[in-house]
Amino acid sequence: MSVLGRITRCLGPRVLGFVALMAAASVCGANQGAVFSSGNLGPTILKAPGHCVRPTEWMRHNHMKLLLQERTEWVREGIRDRKDSLENCVKCHAADAPNGAVFGAKQDFCVSCHRYAAVKITCFECHSATPKGKVPAFHPLYGPMGPHGEGANAHGLSLMMRESASTGRLGLGASK
Amino acid sequence: MSEVNKERRHLLGAGAAVAGLVVAPGVFLVTAGKGRADEEAGESGPQWGKVRWGMLVDTAKCSSGCTQCVSACDKENHLSGETLPTSSQWIRKMELTDRETGKNYSLPMMCQHCDNPPCVDVCPTGASFKRWDGIVSVDRHLCIGCRYCLMACPYKARSFVHHPVTDQNPDVPRGQGCAESCDFCKHRIDEGQIPACVEACGSTGGGALLFGDLNDPKSEISQRVATIATLQVRADLGTEPAVRYEGIL
């Protein structure tokens, strides 16, 4: 058995994963350019067709600030800068996704990084995770495995809400 | 003032100036961003009071039983179309009867886009707001779902989303826990189109709805409200609605 295997058996895979995450985080702090280069531990990022509206490195660190400014101008001023809009992000990043969405399954564009960084996304409780005119392959709030499947862990709903939804109390999900 | 205090003031002032300019490299505070956007937008951009969108409903042309405006609204904004007490209804048809004469009236009722909106007055977070062009709407990012605006609105125009929403129109994000109401299809207006209900009423309905800029004296709606008698619902409250009705005086 390899050294890594022994350590894994002693510590348990979750603890090891945590240690690896911490190590990766410290690398990120030292060199912000090489965030996602740690082999299988990092998230798998789906490639989108075409060029992003900003350099990729800039977007990794600042997309939330860009979206915050955009949302204020968009909602409160009516300045519809389509280029920097969330709708435009979704349009491009969902284009080649297996399920046609940026949110839902764990491999989806937004979820893959946010899952890795353990940052909850609440955008898609209101915003559409699919481009205009496209129908998602499955329910974007639940993921392909249904309300309790793996994809469901990535979304922002509380456990109570998910359970109520699955029991049909909220008029959603499977009815008994 | 002592030297220490002077220094302290100087330092605080400089700190405030820096904080006011930049949040992070390349990202500016809203006020700074607005200035940039105004420059880009030029004459057609947001200028308070320049435009005031309004609607004129001709109740003589609005026939009882026709719900084209309601279905167009539901379709455009991906509303369920249900009429339960907990359903979102941005526009609803009302049937009124004059008790003395027996005359029946049919009219649509929706957010009246008041000039003095009570929903904005009572909102504790600033989520309910009036836009530069007179459209009253909810910034769902700030809405905490307290439902005070539902109580304050004299027209019962606001709805609360009780259930998770799943099939939104990408142009109309909406979700559970937020108050919402008619926003004159602002996503369409910003693209130079008219609201979905007005379009539907004109094509498949009775042509009872007229939409336009009340601040533009040359617009059709301005000329009509200047020449014929129109009514603002509950004008006594001083809310100054932008939606006017003709034929129900």
Q: What are the residue boundaries of the structural domains of chain B, listed by start?
A: 3-44, 53-246
Looking at domain B53-246, its CATH class is: alpha beta
Beta bridge partners of B55: B211, B243
Please compute the mean of the pLDDT values over residues B30-48 and round it to a whole number: 57
* CB distance B231 to B249 below 8 Å: yes
Residue B146 contacts A, CB cutoff 8 Å: no
Residue B187: CB atoms within 10 A of its CB come to 19
Q: Which residue has the higher pLDDT, B56 or A134?
A: B56
Interface test with A, best of B168, B169, B171, B186 (most A CBs within 10 A): B168
A58 interaction partners in chain B (CB closer than 8 Å)? 26
Phi, psi angle pair for B137, to nearest 5°:
-155, 175
Is residue B26 scored above 50 in pLDDT? yes
Instruction: State whether A171 and B163 contact (CB < 8 Å).
Output: yes
Rounded Cα gap, residues A171 and B87, in angstroms: 12
* CB distance B131 to B186 below 8 Å: yes
pLDDT band, residue A22 (cuts 50/70/90): very low
Beta bridge partners of B108: B93
CA distance A54 to chain B (A): 11
pLDDT band, residue B32 (cuts 50/70/90): very low
- Residue B198 corresponds to which amino acid? V
Residues 171-200 of B with CB under 8 A from A: 171, 173-176, 178, 186-187, 189-191
Phi, psi angle pair for B105, to nearest 5°:
-125, 145
- Least CB–CB distance from A132: residue in B135, B163, B170: B170
Interface test with B, best of A71, A75, A92, A123 (most B CBs within 10 A): A75
Structure tokens at A95: 């284009």
Burial class for B57, CB neighbours closer than 10 Å (0-12, 13-18, 19+): buried
Is residue B99 scored above 70 in pLDDT? yes
* Mean pLDDT score across all residues of chain A: 69
* B107-156 residue pLDDT tens: 999 999 999 999 999 999 999 999 999 999 999 999 999 999 999 999 99
Is residue B184 scored above 70 in pLDDT? yes
Rounded Cα gap, residues B33 and A138, in angstroms: 38
- Residue A20 corresponds to which amino acid? A
Give the distance from CA B204 to its chain's centroid: 24
Residues in chain B: 249
State the residue for tokens 């601040």: B215
- Residue A44 corresponds to which amino acid? T
Is residue B81 scored above 80 in pLDDT? yes
A82 interaction partners in chain B (CB closer than 8 Å)? none
Rounded Cα gap, residues A171 and A39, in angstroms: 43
Torsion of CA A135, A136, A137, A140, to 10 degrees: -160
A157 interaction partners in chain B (CB closer than 8 Å)? 164
Residue B41 contacts A, CB cutoff 8 Å: yes
Residues 47-76 of A with CB under 8 A from B: 58, 62, 65-66, 69, 71-73, 75-76
CB within 8 A of A59, min separation 6: which ones? A52, A66
Residue-wise burial string across B89-116, b where 16 or more C-beta atoms lie within 10 A, e elsewhere: bbbbbeeeeeeeeeeebbbbbbbbbbee
- Least CB–CB distance from B168: residue in A71, A126, A131: A126
- Least CB–CB distance from B30: residue in A72, A131, A140: A72
**DSSP SS3 for B108:** strand
Nearest residue to A139 via CA among B75, B78, B86, B168: B168
Q: What is the DSSP letter of B104?
A: E
pLDDT of A153 reads 42
Comparing alpha-carbon positions, the chain B residue that sits nearest to A80 is: B190
Torsion of CA B232, B229, B67, B177, to 10 degrees: -10
Rounded Cα gap, residues B63 and B107, in angstroms: 8
Rounded Cα gap, residues B110 and B112, in angstroms: 6
Please compute the mean of the pLDDT values over residues B68-72 and round it to a whole number: 96
* A36-47 residue pLDDT tens: 545 667 888 888
Structure tokens at A10: 């002693």
- The residues spanned by each domain of chain A are 1-41, 43-166
Give the whole-number percent of chain B exceeding pLDDT 70. 82
Beta bridge partners of B138: B128
* 3-state SS track over A43-101: CCCCCCCCCCCCCHHHHHHHHHHHHHHHHHHHHHHCCCCHHHCHHHHHHHHCCCCCCCC
